[in-house]
Structure 1
């Protein structure tokens, strides 16, 4: 009886370990890459291609090194996504993405306003479920009246290229 009990315990432990191992490997295999991924080499090429534009802006318009990047924490982005989904719903939209705009802070007495990047929620207007009319709605339109996300951290230094 004692041997049978040990055999059953060993069998249960073996099944549990096998299940954990297979589920972990399956999760890794099922993880798919999102559309639009680019390699570090492509990132560097895009960054370098922007250099001439950055120089024109910095040298001729504001006469100081301008920002090249904005940094946002994962917590800020996740919190903003939750907020944007709720706000979009309140405004009668379904959130389907974010658009990133380049902007600049206003000039102040301390100096010129530097470049910033900010997020704006996009989505499609909700339509009544009982509607007989079909509408061709492609998402991606800015949601008017919705709050955006700005105030990301600057590069170090602000004009630093990729990688920092």
Structure 2
């Protein structure tokens, strides 16, 4: 009976030591962390309700549309584009692409800026003089973790030398009622 208790005690101690000293699978740990991170969705700052978005769009129509469309008319167009649309797949792909490009240039992306633009003669007669929008990654140059400077300069976001995203589908309609 005494030998059996030693065997059981030995198995328990062996199991405990195996648990603490055997290497774990880092890929499984990374997947677990990723799943836990993805589950936490935080509402971004700047979210507005749809009623306010409709009001902003109506204000644009009231105060800007006549001037913008009159400029488009001078170029021979009925009206100018007032929105740009990209599919969710295109945006996700661009976010991954721009991050990879920034990483290869040793930049850290901290945000994206939306610019308004106007197509020139090179766009052809169907787009010439019409509005467009494009996304440009912003951020900062990566620095070594061990730095002589004890200061962390925040707010140095500049446009990065990464290819911007353009050529979304333009739209003439206003925000849906």
Does the C-alpha gap of structure 1 residues 109 and 32 become closer, same or farther in structure 2, counting only changes over 3 Å? Answer: closer
Alignment match of 2:157 (pick from 116, 122, 140): 140
Does the C-alpha gap of structure 1 residues 48 and 135 become closer, same or farther in structure 2, counting only changes over 3 Å? Answer: same
In structure 2, the residue corresponding to 1:80 is in which secondary structure?
helix
Query: 2:80 matched to 1:66?
Result: yes
Query: 2:53 matched to 1:43?
Result: yes
**Aligned counterparts, 1:13-162, within 5 A:** 31-51=41-61, 52-59=63-70, 61-63=71-73, 64-107=78-121, 110=125, 112-133=128-149, 134-143=151-160, 145-155=161-171, 159-162=172-175
Q: CA deviation at 1:109?
A: 5.7
Dislocated runs of 4+, deviation >3 Å: none
Q: In structure 1, how many angstroms separate the alpha carbons of the residues matched to 2:158 and 2:65?
A: 28
TM-score (norm 1): 0.72
What are structure 1's unaligned runs of at least 5 residues? Answer: 1-26
Q: In structure 2, how many angstroms separate the alpha carbons of the residues matched to 1:72 and 1:44?
A: 20
Q: In structure 1, how many angstroms separate the alpha carbons of the residues matched to 2:155 and 2:125?
A: 44
TM-score (norm 2): 0.67
Larger Rg: 2
Q: CA deviation at 1:80?
A: 0.4
Q: In structure 2, how many angstroms separate the alpha carbons of the residues matched to 1:125 and 1:67?
A: 35
CA RMSD of the aligned region, Å?
1.9
Q: In structure 2, how many angstroms separate the alpha carbons of the residues matched to 1:76 and 1:110?
A: 26
